[in-house]
A and B are shown apart, each in its own frame.
Chain A
């Protein structure tokens, strides 16, 4: 049963984790707006979510057990980004000091990501309420 509950919440949980990590990346970009040679970084949310879901789904990580004492192999969905999914921005207006942070883009994405994060929270709260309604009748 708990496996089904996990499956039920997995998509939103992974998405929220990914949003939080993206928010961290964008905050780093904003913080380093004046650091020479800093390259702005971001993730492609769609493909990152896809690969994170693939990694956390049990089917992809199923290991055959040859002994009853073996533990189930489970992948944690908390490590949503594995480093390879982090990309660098292509600057539209390169600056002389090698910094590629465009403050307009970063602020825009930061606000957008924050709203989508809160939307994710609202969705998962709704799911929990639905499940409670089912349990309590």
Chain B
């Protein structure tokens, strides 16, 4: 049944997009975290999407292949009174670009909504199919 497979496809995309939204939330929340649980400065995280086959030849869903950390150098902020300041008075702050994260957030939330629409359309079509001959 091809139409029920749309639920799997749209569902996988919604799950992947919500995971992307999760990393964005984590990045924005930690935009000023000078130290993480391991004592190191927080690094921005990004999800990597991958296409996965879903049962038939026609359907392909989405999965998060991995979560990568941004390896660009941390922002160095001059603040000698900070307890984590180095000998020269600089503190390493996270390499989170808040503007980029906001763009990512809007893109993820729009994609999520589109997939909700897809799922609703498939549901309407399935229900209509059940009324054949009535």
**Interchain CB contact under 8 A, A125 and B121:** no
Interface residues of A (CB under 8 A from B): 17, 20-21, 23-25, 27-28, 30-36, 38, 41, 81, 83, 86, 103, 107, 110-111, 114, 117-118, 121, 124-125, 128-129
The tally of CB-CB contacts under 8 A between chains A and B is 100
A125 and B3 in contact (CB under 8 A), knowing A31-B12, A35-B49, A114-B124? no
How big is the B interface, by class?
A: 35 or more
**Interchain CB contact under 8 A, A31 and B13:** yes
Is B115 an interface position by the 8 A CB rule?
yes
List A contacts of B2 (CB < 8 A).
Answer: 17, 20-21, 23-24
**Interchain CB contact under 8 A, A30 and B114:** yes
| B7 nearest CB across to chain A (Å) | 9
List A contacts of B54 (CB < 8 A).
Answer: 28
**Interchain CB contact under 8 A, B125 and A114:** yes
List A contacts of B121 (CB < 8 A).
Answer: 110-111, 114
Is B51 an interface position by the 8 A CB rule?
yes
Closest to B133 in A: A128
Contact of B61 among A28, A81, A111 (CB under 8 A): A28
**Interchain CB contact under 8 A, B132 and A31:** no
List A contacts of B57 (CB < 8 A).
Answer: 81, 83, 86
